[in-house]
Amino acid sequence: MPPESCATPAEFEFLDSGFVDLGFEHLGLAAAELEAVRLAFVGIGVRVPGTTYRLRNLSPGRAVVEPVADDETIGLTDGWRQAMLVVPVPQAGSV
């Protein structure tokens, strides 16, 4: 288990369950807006609506949920959870 300071916030624990495709291309954004979201995600992060958190890319295939730092200028749309794909990793002994 990660130290408390690195723990995923409870409302985002579903992101720890396996492979996650955030599905930004399914948010219904215009091409320029989509590019802005992608660039922000790999940069300072994107605000998550209705929360005090942001999503930020750490390295290929690895993202983090962090408290906002108030320097984020781009946010996700309200329907961001419906755009993603989460494929759970089977628990040991369950397959």
Q: Which helix (H) or strand (E) holds 54?
A: strand 53-59
Q: How far is Cα 14 from Cα 35, in angstroms, rounded to an integer?
A: 25
Checking if the pLDDT of 6 tops 50, the result is yes
Contact between 38 and 24 under an 8 Å Cβ cutoff? The reply is yes
Which residues does 84 contact at the CB level (< 8 Å), separation at least 6?
A: 20, 21, 22, 23
What pLDDT shows up at residue 18? 81
Q: Where are the domains of the chain?
A: 4-85
**φ, ψ dihedrals at 88, nearest 5°:** -65, 145
For 12-39, what is each residue's pLDDT tens digit?
988 887 888 999 999 999 999 999 999 9
Q: What pTM value is reported for the model?
A: 0.81
Q: How far is Cα 47 from Cα 74, in angstroms, rounded to an integer?
A: 6
What pLDDT shows up at residue 86? 87
Q: What percent of the chain has pLDDT over 90?
A: 59
Q: How confident is the model at residue 75 (pLDDT cuts 50, 70, 90)?
A: very high
Cα three-residue angle 34-36-39, rounded to 5 degrees: 110
What pLDDT shows up at residue 1? 30
Mean pLDDT of the chain: 87
